[in-house]
Amino acid sequence: MVWALYVQNLDPLGHRVLSTIVAGMPVLVLFYLLVARRWLAPWAGAAGAITAIVLAWLAYAMPLEMACWAFVHGMSFGLLPIGWTVFAAMLLYNTTLVSGQFTIIRRSIGNLSDDARVQAVLIGFCFGAFMEGAAGAGSPVAICGAMLVGLGVPPFQAAVLCLIANTSPVCFGGLGVPILTLASVTGLSGDSISIMCGHQLPILSCLIPLYMVKTMCSWRETLAIWPALVVGGGSFALAQFFFATAHVYGLPPIWPLTDICGALISMVCLAAFLKFVWKPPHPWRFPATAVGAGQTVEPVRPADPRVAEAEEQVSELLPAGEGLTSREKPLTRRMVLRAWTPWVVMAALLILSGIVRQMEKNGPLDLGFAPSYWEAPVPTLHKKVERAERLVPAGAVGDERKEAALFKVNWLTAPGTSVFFAAIISMLFLRLSTTEIVSVFRKTLYQMRIPIPTIACMLGLSYVTKYAGMDATLGVAFAETGVLYPFFAALLGWLGVFLTGTDAGSNALFGSLQKITATEVWNAHGSSALRHLSLEQTQILICTANSTGGVMGKMIDAQSICVATAGTNQIGREADIFKAVIWHSVFLACVVGLMTVLQAFLWPFTLMVPH
C-alpha cells in the first residue's frame, strides 16, 4: 500500500500560542501524573504517549497509522539496544551479588580508610560512579548510602551525600544508555556527544567531591583533606576525559566504559595514595551523638506507590542479612581479584565490540550465518514525513527533506550483547549452580519490569512528537529566548530528569526539541553571537547540555529520593531530604548552564566543542 506524504505544520491551529500549548500537552500530562498524581513512571509515560498520538492525529492531522508506527518505532529502540543494555548490566551485577563476590568488592572499598570525609569520596563518589556505570537504576544511592550508614555516617547525611555524588557520572550510566538515547532521538553521532560530555563532565567531577565533603563539615575540615580530593576527583576526571574521547585519538569507541573504568582507576589511585603517600593527619568522624541520628523509629509510610517500589528495589539490591560491617575472614588479594574479574571480562568484551563497530562503518559484516546488523524501514513512516519548510536545510531537495525511519538491529555490537556474554562467562567462572543461574535471570527480569517499560514509553512518546512536528513547535517557541538559550538548555534537561527520573528519559523527552531549538538559535544568531561554532557544533553543544545539565536533577527526582530513604531507613522523610538537596541541585545545574554559555560564545572555550 502506498501511503500519502505527511508534511509537518508547526502552527496547526493558526495561533502560535495555542499551537505551542497543544504541543506541550503530552509533557504536561506526564508532569501532572508523575508529580501531582504520583503515578509510577511506566503508566505516566504510557498516558503521555497516548496523549501525543491523539493530538498528533486530531490537532496536527498526522494519519493515525503513522502516529502509531512512530510510537512503535520509539518503543522498539527503547527495547533494543537501550533495554537490552540495561537488562544485561543488571544481569552481570546480580551474578556477582548471588555468587557473593559483590560483598567482597564492597568490603575491599569500605576498609580503605577510617576518615569519614575520605570514606564519602571513596564510597559515595568513586564507588557510586562504578555502580552507576555497571547497573544504574538507583543502585549507587541505595548501596553506597547503606555502606556509609554501616561505617558510622548519620543516615540522613548519608542519603544527602550519595544523592549529590550521583550526578557527574550519570551521563555514562548503565554503559552509556543516556548518550545512546540522545543520539537516537537527535540523529547526532553518539561518539560526538560523548566527546562533548568528556569536555564538560571532568570539570564537574573535580568539583563534586569537594562539594559533597563541604556539606559534611566546615571549610577548614574540608580543605584539610585536599590531597585526597585532588587525587580522588582528579584521577576520575582524567579517566573520564580519556574514555569519553579515546576515539578522537585513533582508539576504538570505548565510552560506554567511562564510569566503570574511571571509577576503578580513581579507587586504585586513591587507595595507593592513602597507603603509600599520605593519610589524613587527624582522622575525622561524626560525633557519637550524631551516628544513627535522623532515622525514623517507626517509619511513616505515605500513600505513594513509588515509596513501596523503592523499598522493594532496595531489598533486591541489598538483600536482608548481608551485613556491611559484619566480622568476616580477612580479604586476600586472590579473593579481591576474583571478585573484580567479571567486570574486567566485561571491559575486554566492550573494547572488542568497539573495534567491531569501527569495522561496520561501511556496512554490516558477513558472519556466514547472519549479517552483524539488520536495517528495516518502518511501515508508513520511512521517508513519508516531510519536515516543515522552516526546518529544511538550505538547498535540500527530494528525500533530503524527509525524515528517515529505519529500525536497526545491531545485535552484535550493542553494548548489551557484550555485557550479556560477560555475565554468562562470569556465571561459568564463578561456578554458579543451575538453580543460582535461574535465580539470577528471574531476579533480573523482575527488577526490569519498571525501568524497561518506562524507557520504552518515553522513547515512544518522543518519536511521536518528533515525527508529528510537535517538538518543532516547542523548539521554535523556546528559540525566542535567543542567545540566552544555551543556559536554559541545561535547565530544561534538569527539568526532564526531575520529571522522568532518568537522564535517558530526559534525553528521550527533550533531545529532539533541543536540536531544533539549537538550529533556530543558530539561524538567528550564528553570524554574530555564535560565530565561533558551526550549526552542527551548536546542535552537539545544546543537545549535550540537556544530558549534562540533566544529571543535576538526578538528586531531586522522586525515584532517587525514594531509593535513598529506603536504602538508609529514612522512609517518611522524603520531603526533608528533598529540601536538603534542592538548592544544591539548582546551583549545580546553573553551573552547567554557565559552562555551556562559555563554550557557546567565548573563545577559547568554544574550541572544546567537537566538529
Render pLDDT for 411-469 as a digit per residue (tens, 0 to 9).
888 888 998 999 999 999 999 999 999 999 999 998 888 888 988 898 899 899 999 99
pLDDT of residue 328: 62
CB 210 within 8 A of CB 224: no
Section 507-517 average pLDDT: 91
Nearest Cα to 253, choosing from 170, 171, 357, 182?
A: 357
pLDDT tops 60 at residue 143: yes
pLDDT tops 80 at residue 291: no
Provide the 10 A C-beta neighbour count for residue 252. Answer: 17
pLDDT of residue 551: 92
Section 275-295 average pLDDT: 74
pLDDT of residue 228: 94
pLDDT of residue 282: 85
Domain segments of the chain as ranges: 16-276+334-369+408-608
Residue 381 to residue 6: CA distance in whole angstroms: 9
pLDDT tops 60 at residue 326: no
Cell of 273: 595514595
pLDDT of residue 378: 93
Give the end-to-end CA distance of the chain in Å, rounded to a whole number.
41
pLDDT tops 80 at residue 553: yes
Residue 536 to residue 192: CA distance in whole angstroms: 10
Predicted model pTM: 0.86
Section 252-266 average pLDDT: 92
More confident residue, 344 or 300: 344
* 173-177, 206-210, 219-223, 238-242: the lowest-pLDDT one: 173-177
Section 223-237 average pLDDT: 95
Cell of 586: 539548582
The pLDDT-based confidence of 321 (bands split at 50, 70, 90) is very low
Provide the β-strand partners of residue 93: none
Residue showing cell 541541585: 585
More confident residue, 111 or 448: 448
pLDDT tops 90 at residue 587: yes
Residue 256 to residue 240: CA distance in whole angstroms: 11
The pLDDT-based confidence of 294 (bands split at 50, 70, 90) is very low
* 47-61, 312-326, 505-519, 535-549: the lowest-pLDDT one: 312-326
Q: What would the pLDDT profile of 522-551 be if each residue is shown by its tens digit? A: 988 877 888 899 999 999 999 999 999 999
Q: What would the pLDDT profile of 116-137 be if each residue is shown by its tens digit? A: 999 999 999 998 999 888 776 6
The pLDDT-based confidence of 1 (bands split at 50, 70, 90) is low
Q: CA separation (Å) from 248 to 112, 176, 230?
A: 35, 17, 26
pLDDT of residue 298: 44
Tell me the average pLDDT of the chain.
87
The pLDDT-based confidence of 324 (bands split at 50, 70, 90) is very low
Q: CA separation (Å) from 211 to 80, 117, 493, 606?
A: 37, 11, 21, 26
pLDDT tops 60 at residue 290: no
* 14-18, 220-224, 295-299, 530-534: the lowest-pLDDT one: 295-299
pLDDT-above-70 percentage for the chain:
92
Calculate helix-pair angle for 333-359, 415-429, nearest 10 degrees.
150
pLDDT of residue 441: 96
Task: Provide the pairing of β-strand 406-409 with 374-377.
Answer: antiparallel
pLDDT-above-90 percentage for the chain:
50
Task: Compute CA 300 distance to the chain's CA centroid, rounded to the nearest angstrom.
Answer: 30
More confident residue, 210 or 40: 210
CB 440 within 8 A of CB 98: yes
pLDDT tops 60 at residue 289: no
Section 272-299 average pLDDT: 72
The pLDDT-based confidence of 286 (bands split at 50, 70, 90) is confident
pLDDT tops 60 at residue 600: yes
List of residues 6+ apart from 337 with CB closer than 8 A: none
Residue 517 to residue 532: CA distance in whole angstroms: 18
pLDDT of residue 593: 96
pLDDT tops 60 at residue 322: no
pLDDT of residue 153: 87
The burial class, CB within 10 Å (0-12 / 13-18 / 19+), for 5 is exposed
More confident residue, 202 or 44: 202
Q: What would the pLDDT profile of 369-405 be if each residue is shown by its tens digit? A: 889 989 999 999 999 999 888 777 766 777 778 888 9
Section 143-152 average pLDDT: 84
